[in-house]
Amino acid sequence: MPRYRLDFAYCGTHFSGYAKQIGLRTVQAQLELGLSKVLPNRWKTDVSVVVTARTDAGVHAKHQVVHFDDETANLDLCGALRRLNRVLPDDITAYKLVRVPDDFSARFWASERTYKYRICDSPYPNPLRTVDVHNTFRKLDVTKMNKAVYGFTGVHDFAAFVKFRRGATTIRNLKYFKFKRVKCGKDRGLIVATLTADAFAYNMVRSLVGAAIFVGLEKRPINWMRQCLDAKVRCGATGPTNPSGLTLERVKYVSSPKRARCRMKKIRARRKISYENT
């Protein structure tokens, strides 16, 4: 059956996360409902999508990706995309729809995911940025925050900054992690944390940022985060911070289908071993 890739964005403020939950408004439920209304011969029938990364309640996405299967081989991609945006709620926008190889995986073919967490540390926050910015109302020491996370890139066990899930590994390859006070543009005056990894564990981004905020407020010493990382023990202060400041900014995919298939096979094998050992 033909497979399609859909790229879209959403404001997570009024969603109970991405994944479907009975009785709650979620991104996945709204997206699948919209697709069921615009795909030929699928009027109000189930359409199942597979996503790159599930986001929590209140978390946003500028670039999110799903794939789905549909029996229509010659789907009018431009027309379907236009119709989809007409039936989706205002807080979701789809902007790309393409046909992909039948074994494409929005989840396993993704090689990098980049998140940004926006913080306002002014006592007078901008009321127009309450949706996608976390306000601390107290000045943060960005230099100390960057010193605290120095050495966090590379392959580590992030158990101290991850909510436990049975069968899920806490080992990740964090490729980039840095805080920066922005001097110009839309985010001028904000502190923006940028994190890139092959994949992130549950609550990992918000927990890392939340711990760094403690350091920036001088509630914890600079070496405290490294001690937590080495100890691999989760504590209250390493729990997730407010979701409103977090946005999935970009998803990068393996360019070669052959490499992507090889990568997918290795990931599935590794996760199966991890699950069997719990």
Q: Does the annotation count 56 as an active-site position?
A: yes
CB 165 within 8 A of CB 234: no
Q: How far apart are CA 119 and CA 46, in angstroms?
A: 39
User: Is 148 in a helix, a strand, or coil?
Assistant: helix
Integer-rounded Cα Rg, in Å, for the chain is 20
Catalytic annotation, pick one of 56, 70, 121, 187: 56
Q: How many CB atoms lie within 10 A of CB 12?
A: 26
CB 245 within 8 A of CB 119: yes
Tokens coding 143:
């230099």
- Helices 204-216 and 224-231: crossing angle in degrees, nearest 10, is 150
Q: How far apart are CA 191 and CA 80, in angstroms?
A: 39
Catalytic residue positions?
56
